[in-house]
Chain A
Amino acid sequence: MLTDLFHIVIFPGFLFLCASGMTAEYIDRKLYARLQNRMGPPWFQPFADFMKLVSKEDIVPDEANPSMFRAMPIFALTASITAIFYIPLWHVNALYHFNGDLIVTIYLLTIPTLTYFLGGWYSTSLYSKIGAVRSLTQLFAYEVPLLMCILAPALLANTWSLSEMAAFYTNHKWYWAFNMIGFVVSIIALLGKLEKVPFDIPEAETEIVAGTFTEYSGRLLAIFRLSLNIEAITGASLIAAVYLPFGLELPTAAGFAVYLAKLLFIIAIMSLSRTVFARFRMDQMVEFCWKYVSPFAFLQILICLIIKGVWVR
């Protein structure tokens, strides 16, 4: 009971995720700044932003539905924190695991997007409604390739549990090399999930003010921002666990260092793509995901099925 509480509140639950999420935001912003040839924010910037927002006034618009408006940030935060418990981080076994936790994790990572939709919809502001509808449209574009390309390694490992997948890839070294197409596809899908450039269409600042979050201020906005940061960490952990399953058999300290290196690698790729690309239009994004990304996810499944039939016996 007490250890469960420790896991949920401190490590690797709430506090650890807050710290790592803020660090991820700092690394992202600093890299982005350095790639643009400027200094970038100091290391405490995400924490200062969070503290400032928490101490500010909360405004709930008169037209908005107050209970939904207030509840949505908390749902987003809870869902993105809960997802981490089923992902093997620096050891073969996750904190909790059962057969099928792969689906539960992906489902939990979908909930924040739904809360962005509902929060934006119930703010009843025009801009946030447009942002909300866009974030849902985008969900239909990236969610299918993400699910398919995460199922492919699971097919190869013949299990639906993330921990058993990690064990399989630890026992069968170099099998992860077959899943590299899936790795690229899932990074693209994660960019869409986190609403980062080039898929930041739902909060496109130059078109629709701040999209879903237009009416959010103060504490509620702080929780939404925190949940986005934590979602970045959980999403990156999921990708690291599925596609980069090495170093899991190492002792705890070394394994933890390898885990952080993997996260850093994925975050660096994301901020690089943020620098290189410009924002897509909604129709371009949907077309790109269905025409090019989904077939590659199919190809990944095909490769895994063939290897499973020919090689793994």
Chain B
Amino acid sequence: MLDKLITWSRIKSPWIIHFNTGACNACDIEIVAALTPRYDMERFGVQLKGTPRHADVLVCSGPVTKQIKDRLKRIYDQMPEPKFVVAVGSCSCSGGVFDGCYSVESGIDAIIPVSAYIPGCPASPQAIIDGVVKLLATLEKKEEKR
């Protein structure tokens, strides 16, 4: 009963923090657009938070550059459990066109575990919302399996 309530509350109130891991800013603009009144993410309880301590979902955009690798790890470690990572855009899913570049590591999942991939160059706000909703749906399924 209590577990169910806690899972419900996690699904209903995902607070996100947005972190640019080396993106060209196109995905960032789309993420910010998804938070504007037109798409109104607060309907689903999504709030943009400034500090990783408050956030549940780390929304990353862009390929991981060698410079940002340690910072990304540090931000991830600063988040309290349970935490999820969403990779927005083709570059953050796999490295995209930058894969193999001398200054780029690879996708986000080479550094930290990723829960949801949202491809697109850039991913549209609808796709981002869809991806986050699907991530939350998998939470619900996990609960049912238990």
A residues apposed to B, CB below 8 Å: 29, 33, 36-42, 44-45, 47-52, 55-59, 127, 205-206, 209-210, 213-218, 221
Q: Which 8 A-B pairs have the closest CB atoms?
A: A51-B9, A57-B80, A48-B12, A38-B40, A217-B53, A38-B37, A52-B9, A55-B6
Whether B53 contacts A45 by the Cβ 8 Å rule is: no
Q: What are 24 pairs between A and B in contact, CB < 8 Å?
A: A29-B42, A33-B40, A39-B42, A40-B40, A40-B43, A42-B12, A42-B43, A42-B45, A44-B12, A47-B9, A48-B8, A49-B15, A50-B9, A51-B5, A52-B56, A56-B56, A56-B82, A59-B53, A209-B51, A210-B54, A215-B51, A216-B53, A217-B54, A221-B53
A33 to B80 CA separation, bound complex (whole angstroms): 28
How many angstroms from the CA of A214 to the CA of B51 in the assembled complex? 6
Residues of B within 8 A of A44 (CB): 12
Given A48-B9, A52-B56, A55-B9, A210 contacting B49 (CB threshold 8 A)? yes
B50 interface residue, CB < 8 Å from A? yes
Bound Cα distance from A49 to B42, whole angstroms: 12
Contact A221:B54 (CB < 8 A) given known A39-B40, A39-B43, A51-B6 = yes
Least CB distance from B51 to A in Å reads 5
Cβ–Cβ < 8 Å partners of B13 in chain A = 45, 48-49, 51-52
Instruction: List B residues 1-50 near A (Cβ within 8 Å).
Output: 5-6, 8-10, 12-13, 15, 37-38, 40, 42-43, 45, 49-50
Are B81 and A57 in touch, CB under 8 angstroms?
A: yes
What separation, in Å, do the CA atoms of A59 and B51 have in the docked complex? 13
Number of interface residues of B (CB under 8 A): 24
Contacts of B56 in A (CB 8 A): 52, 56
Chain B hits for A216, CB < 8 A: 53-54
Residue of A nearest to B10 (CB): A52
Given A36-B37, A39-B43, A48-B45, decide whether A55 and B50 contact each other with a Cβ distance below 8 A.
no
User: Quick one: closest A residue to B42, CB to CB?
Assistant: A41
B42 partner residues in chain A, CB cutoff 8 A: 29, 33, 38-41
CA distance A50 to B9 in the complex (A): 8
Residues of B close to A127: CB separation below 8 A: 51
CA distance A206 to B49 in the complex (A): 10
**Please, which residues of chain B bring their CB within 8 A of the CB of A221?**
53-54
A29 to B43, CA, bound (A): 11
**Once the chains are docked, how many angstroms separate the CA of A38 from the CA of B8?**
24
List residues of B (59-80) whose CB comes within 8 Å of A's CBs.
78, 80
Chain B residues closer than 8 Å to A41, beta-carbon distance = 42-43, 45
Nearest A residue to B82 via CB reads A56
Query: A205 contacts which chain B residues (CB < 8 A)?
Result: 49-50
Question: Apart from A52-B10, A56-B56, what 5 extra A-B contacts exist at CB < 8 Å?
Answer: A49-B13, A50-B9, A52-B56, A55-B10, A217-B80
Rounded to whole Å, the gap between the CB of B43 and the closest CB of chain A is 5
